[in-house]
Copies of this chain bind each other. A is one copy, B any other.
């Protein structure tokens, strides 16, 4: 182990990531060409990311990465790509001095803080938005597909992070994910990571393409509703697999038909499933998927919450009036109640869609769930703390950690009654080692503590700025950004957004999204003085 952290090696790898980021930037270029739009937002972005990437790479031509360099690299990568991601937004709003006129000068993303929020929300696949108007007339189609693409690219990063990197770094019990014994660092495993990444990205791309084709097929068959077209099929295909939840439609998936909503549900489930298992299932052993403790728990928790929400909605569990901060009017509310209450298909569809969307931390909306009465809303708030599976693109605490926590608590009760007893905690037949258990207990508690403290910080900041939010709004907004879910409630609801927060609060939520996505610990590790010493 080196005496000091070799930050050059870390930054060199970040440079490699930035260099490769220039390739997918060709997608918005193609879209802009197809729709006859300006290329101004993208060509400078490609140039900058290439230049910065190649520059950083030169810091250490053959980077030697130990575990401490791994933490720095992971933490830095997301902020670096998020910064690059702001460039198209800023150019769309401001143009380029002396060269290009502003394209949409009224864009809310002209504010650099908003641009960073939207970009970090994209690359962390959170899906919280500060766009004022969500459509392809107040923004170019190229910029709107870039917004979708940030999530798809973020998802690619997360798959590798979750399946290959965090387990090597033993973050919060993530070593459970690793089939092999944890090693001292990731340097010798780079070939393995590269191989893993190739395989998983292939599956990720293939499933994305299947979803796009299905959505577009529904459109061709006239079953997708008037708003679906090839553009929207691609746009939503790009944000499902990363459990992202961005949509170029202001009304999210409510803009489409019931058939589209039914089709998207299984893709959200896949996106919230361990990718290594998905790949095994594709490669021919689907049994392992259904034998997996976490997958069964993941399906189970969604089934229970769907049943609860269905029961509540079917029996008329809607708001009795338009609440403060709601983004709907009395007409929408009464139509919603008339359509859903007492009707089985819409009840089950919306209950299942919203439950799956929040548990997997996708964040799509098939309806404005701010019309729901508090009990069903609380069920969604509760779901925000469940999270997807480990090794998926889902955020939050994750199902496997809750399973281990439940088993540890069960053991604690047992050993309290029988202090002489020794009882290992088993998962899928193997006894977990103490180090992994400690990591999981610590991570889960850390997550909850940051949630409670984060809401306090956010409240102090909005009070300082003189902006009014309710306790429910701030609590749910904190849970949603930290858990990379996206929407919260009322002003922050699925048809609302985070634009009402002061800039300082938005920057704090950028940090929450960033921390949540990296499973918190890598970020905090880099903030410890001891990390830099020794």
Residues of A within 8 A of B (CB): 67-68, 71, 169-171, 184, 308, 312, 315, 317, 320, 373-379, 381-382, 385, 405, 408-409, 412-414, 416-419, 438-439, 441-446, 448-449, 452, 455-456, 459-460, 462-463, 468-472, 474-475, 521, 524-525, 528, 530-531, 534
Contacts and interface: CB of A to CB of B under 8 A. Distances in A.
A74 to B, nearest CB: 12
Given A184-B419, A382-B456, A445-B445, A374 B413 contact: no
Contacts of A463: 312, 315, 317, 373, 375-376
A457 B342 CA distance: 23
Contact of A374 (B378, B379, B474): B474
Contacts of A312: 463
B459 A374 contact: yes
How many protomers of this protein does the assembly include? 2
A225 B521 CA distance: 54
Contacts of A374: 459, 468-471, 474
A476 to B, nearest CB: 8
Going nearest first, the 8 A-B pairs with the smallest beta carbon separation are A412-B442, A375-B459, A375-B463, A374-B471, A471-B472, A417-B525, A441-B441, A378-B459
A472 B472 contact: yes
18 contacts: A170-B416, A308-B456, A320-B468, A373-B468, A374-B468, A375-B462, A378-B471, A378-B474, A379-B459, A382-B455, A409-B442, A412-B438, A416-B439, A416-B521, A417-B530, A441-B441, A441-B445, A448-B448
Contact of A171 (B373, B377, B408, B416): B416
Contacts of A405: 445, 449
B468 A470 contact: no
B382 A452 contact: yes
Given A320-B468, A412-B439, A445-B445, 6 more contacts: A312-B463, A373-B463, A378-B471, A409-B449, A414-B528, A475-B475
